Amino acid sequence: MSIQDELVELRSATLQAISQAADSEGLEQVRIGVLGKNGQLTGYLRSMGSIPKEDRAEVGKTLNVIKQEVESALESRKATLAASELEAKMQAGAVDITLPGRAQQMGTRHLISGIIDEISEIFHGIGYTVESGTEVETDYYNFEALNTPADHPARGMQDTFYVIDRSGAESAVRGESDVLLRTQTSGVQAHVMENRKPPIYMIAPGKVYRRDVADPSHLPQFNQIEGLVVDEGITFADLKGTLDYVCKQIFGQDRETRFRPHYFPFTEPSAEVDVSCGICHGEGCRFCKGTGWVEVLGCGMVDPNVLAYAGIDAERYSGFAFGMGVERIACLKYNVPDLRMLLSGDMRFLRQF
């Protein structure tokens, strides 16, 4: 076979291999085989010297033409393969832009915080200050200063969690510590009276703790709003008028209130306040256990002993106090049947408020 014939064959074989290369990698192999350092065309180009003189010009020309043809075929096949490879890559990593997006989940203020703010606003509007106390309290402020000494039976209903000083004596066991998680916000009354002269018109919202198992009407941790008024000439009529006004602000103008005698160690006389049932409006239903009334808070005239503990002249000043459970008020206001639902973290429930 003449050299010219060999070249014709090499040309067609190479062009075919180029057109059949399945991917960039295969095409590169073809290029190396022909134009690489040890490629077939390179071999011919390198051996030009051994070609008979009379044929040299002709063979050289053919080689150059083939080289150019091969180079341009490689070039265009390369572009074609690159385009289809890019296409395949895009298909594989395709994003379905018609899928609906994932919306940002925006939180809302919790119902309990909402009620605390709302009630604080009501009292703020009638000139009360909003105080805060600490959740870790001493036995003195939680009980003693509120006319509830160690042997007082009212303590029985308010067992709590005692804070033990680990660095202290080994004998520091529950019952021997006098630092505790407060069972009521009432202790704030004593702190405020010690630090300020009357007139005092204040409320104090905050968390309280009890050694209770959670059930539909009890939680081991809940919120209260305490209230205290100390001024000259304060009477039970002031207490009634204020709390009737506040209950109507919270629950609606159509709600009635009634004051039922009760007992609290730190007030005398004491009462519990009921509002007419929001579901049956006093008729009697399952929600109000057939009575037509629901209990919302405790209150009374500040016991002179409590004023005396705080160094306030009980001859000159008198006052009233009250305390309400925030979770309970939330449930009454929105007809929630179980206190535990407030803590569930269930967005379907919480979003309603």
Residues that bind ligand DAH (CB under 6 A): 184, 186, 226, 264, 267, 298-300, 321-323
Length of the chain measured in residues? 353
Spell out where the chain has E strands: 129-130, 136-138, 179-181, 200-209, 221-231, 257-264, 267-276, 293-302, 318-325
Instruction: Work out whether the CA dihedral 248, 250, 251, 257 comes out positive or negative.
Output: negative
Contact 294, 288 (CB under 8 A): yes
Of 44 and 222, CB closest to ligand DAH: 222
Give how far Cα 289 sits from Cα of 127, 258, 334, Å: 36, 16, 17
Of 73 and 329, CB closest to ligand DAH: 329
Question: What is the nearest approach in angstroms of ligand DAH to the Cβ of residue 322?
Answer: 5
Name 268's Cβ contacts closer than 8 Å, sequence gap at least 6: 300, 301, 303, 304
- Angle (nearest 5°) at CA 260 between 255 and 262: 140
Of 182 and 255, CB closest to ligand DAH: 182
**What is the spatial distance between Cα 99 and Cα 327, in angstroms, rounded to a whole number?**
41
- Angle (nearest 5°) at CA 251 between 248 and 252: 60
Question: What is the nearest approach in angstroms of ligand DAH to the Cβ of residue 167?
Answer: 32
Of 160 and 267, CB closest to ligand DAH: 267
Q: Which residue is nearest to ligand DAH (CB)?
A: 323
Question: What is the nearest approach in angstroms of ligand DAH to the Cβ of residue 284?
Answer: 26
Question: What is the nearest approach in angstroms of ligand DAH to the Cβ of residue 216?
Answer: 18
Beta strand pairing status for 129-130 and 257-264? unpaired
Of 62 and 217, CB closest to ligand DAH: 217
Of 10 and 225, CB closest to ligand DAH: 225
Question: What is the nearest approach in angstroms of ligand DAH to the Cβ of residue 102?
Answer: 45
For residue 348, how many other CB atoms are within 10 A of its CB? 7
Question: What is the nearest approach in angstroms of ligand DAH to the Cβ of residue 99?
Answer: 53
